[in-house]
Amino acid sequence: MRVNLQKAIAKLKNGEVVAIPTETVYGLAADATNDDALRQIYAIKQRPMDNPLIVHIGDSSQVTAWAAEFSPTAQKLAAAFWPGPLTLVLPAKNSVSQIVRANQPTVALRVPAHPLALRLLKESGLALAAPSANKFTQLSPTTPAHVTAGLGEDIAVLDGGACEVGIESTIVSVINNANGDHWQLLRQGMISEAAIERIAGKAATALSQPIKAPGQHALHYSPRTPTRLFTNRGALIAQANTHCAALLIGEGAQPNCPVFKLNKNVADVARQLYDTLHKMDALGADLLLIEAPPNAPEWLAILDRLTRAAS
């Protein structure tokens, strides 16, 4: 069911869940201070309760309502990348719901760069927990149609068009200790580790007690159809038959099966990746053959998603 902005705000204030657009993927949103609403997110997604939720806020002035520390490096990263596809994992204030943070000592925060999401956050005055609006381990949704196909017609969806970034946010944790503040990369995304390092002005630290990012399961972002990843086009072609479908990145020889081809451009592949996998999954093929992206740092986030999809 589609809802407009005012209806979405009313539902969220009433403790209901609404699927909302962000620039990364569609999120299944609920008031991040309402434990009953948060429990509905876990129930609808069938997500394990030990997998914490990212809290979406309207701007960085709200960080200190959630985080016990907003250290200089975290402030620099927020100033450089928000609104945008970067999630900061920071020490949580005691007041933060144990449900939203799945009993972790940390809270994950992000300001999304989607005009409708920002209006929703600002006009409602809410902070919204919003994991991807799909069932646990399945493909993330990047359109309202994906949300409805995965969660059913009864889910309220705020339509903000197709997601511009297309894959989940980069996650970075920042903590303080006696030697200053330290950052670590917890999940690859379209904001690269090199870009984080440039803004932080220092490299990631290997901490003796690293911050935990529970819920990074090997099987994730997965089509229902069995899926295999190939680092070599020739090996993919050798495996192909008419009951397969193939996803190719860039030009070259083609296998003997339905082919989905993406330009060899990182941002284009990210934007179209889940929609293409949703389409391939709908074919009823026996096996999806996926060509791995080039082995280069800018492709790491795509490689991470495809490796999990084929896990």
The 3-class secondary structure across 125-139, one letter per residue, is CCCEECCECCCCCEC
Note whether 132 binds Mg ion by CB under 5 A: yes
Query: Which range in 155-163, 208-216, 239-247, 276-284 contacts ligand AMP by CB under 6 A?
Result: 208-216
Which single residue brings its beta carbon nearest to Mg ion? 132
Which tokens in the block code for residue 138? 């399945």
Per-residue binder mask for ligand AMP (CB under 6 A), 211-250, x = binder = --xxxx----------------------------------
| Residue 108 interacting partner from ligand AMP, Mg ion, none (CB closer than 5 to 8 Å by kind) | ligand AMP
Sign of the CA dihedral 210, 215, 219, 222?
negative
Nearer to ligand AMP, 13 or 187 (CB): 187
Residues 112, 116: Cα–Cα separation, whole Å: 10
Q: Is 262 in the site for ligand AMP (CB under 6 A)?
A: no
Binding mask 137-176 for ligand AMP (x = CB under 6 A): -------------------------------x--x-----
Q: CA–CA distance from 76 to each of 4, 98, 194, 202, 240 (Å)?
A: 35, 27, 15, 12, 48
CA distance 165 to 242: 32
Q: Would residue 201 be called left, alpha or beta, if left means φ above 0 and alpha means ψ between -120 and 50 degrees?
A: left
Among the listed ranges 73-81, 120-128, 209-217, 227-235, the one in contact with ligand AMP (CB under 6 A) is: 209-217
| Number of residues counted as binding ligand AMP (CB under 6 A) | 18
Nearer to Mg ion, 48 or 115 (CB): 48
Interacting stretch for ligand AMP, rule CB under 6 A, among 50-58, 71-79, 253-261, 286-294?
A: 50-58
Q: Tell me the three-class secondary structure of 210-224, residue by residue.
A: CCCCCCCCCCCCECC
DSSP-derived 3-state class of residue 105: coil
Does residue number 101 form part of the binding site for ligand AMP (CB under 6 A)? yes
Question: Would you report the helix, strand and coil content of the chain in percent, each value rounded to 5?
Answer: 30, 20, 45
Instruction: Catalog residues that contact ligand AMP under the rule CB under 6 A.
Output: 51-54, 89, 101, 104, 106-108, 131-132, 168, 171, 213-216
